[in-house]
Amino acid sequence: MRFKDRTAIVTGAASGMGLLTAQKLAEEGAKVVLTDVNLDAVTAAAEEIQGKGGEAVGVQVDVRSYDQIKEAVALTVEKYGRIDILLNSAGGCSSRVFGRSEPFHELDIKVVDWGCDVNFKGPIYFCHAVLGQMIKQKSGVVINMGSVEGVTGSRSLDYGASKTGMIGLTKSLALYGAPHGIRACCVSPGPVLTRPAMAKMKTRLGRAAEPQEIVDLILYLCSDKAAFITGANYVIDGGRSVGGP
């Protein structure tokens, strides 16, 4: 029960690694506020956790809306009195989400805006909204979900740039939060089996990661075992980014 009496906010929590992390945090004692743009899915995810004896609430949040983010943070503080963990997991490659195959320079700029807003501005908005409470309680952990493509670059320019930005955001958060007992880390996965297509992406280890392998790292960084770790980016990509022939 590493997270007993702790409260976590997880974005993008209706599916994928956001959902799995929320479930595992709840299993280990955390009170979890799941946020996602999909109201039905995030409500069902919270109810599933409740059905297994965990404490959770699902809230509809579009991370492009600062007002919705502020409301979710206020609800968390009102209901649980604190915010110990923020996992910025919401995101996605804009061209895939919108089913677009044309080159970047031919994309509708609204698609590019979506990618920048969801993958980068949303996490900044959430950090802005939670930091006051974390400073007040003199503790907190922020985990930002990056990507190997934030390290290597990406042909999806808005995605790669945003994920590189998550590394910089993490370093800046570490500087800003350290005097207040707040840590920040970035987790940058390679291909993960949250979608079948991920299995086709090459890694040095010859496979994609199981989602639980990524979540295990996230949970460690959220825990007291990682109390001396802040500002770091953890690449967990099966060697995809190491270079060489």
Q: Give the CA angle between residues 49, 51, 57 to the nearest 5°.
A: 45
Q: For residues 42 and 50, what is the distance between their CA atoms, to the nearest angstrom?
A: 12
Burial of 197 per CB tally in 10 Å (0-12, 13-18, 19+): exposed
Contact 177, 229 (CB under 8 A): no
Burial of 125 per CB tally in 10 Å (0-12, 13-18, 19+): buried
Which listed residue (159, 176, 220, 234) is catalytic? 159
Write out the E strands in 12-139: 31-36, 55-60, 85-88
159 noted as active-site residue: yes
Q: For residues 163 and 167, what is the distance between their CA atoms, to the nearest angstrom?
A: 7
Q: For residues 194 and 179, what is the distance between their CA atoms, to the nearest angstrom?
A: 37
The residues assigned a catalytic role are 159
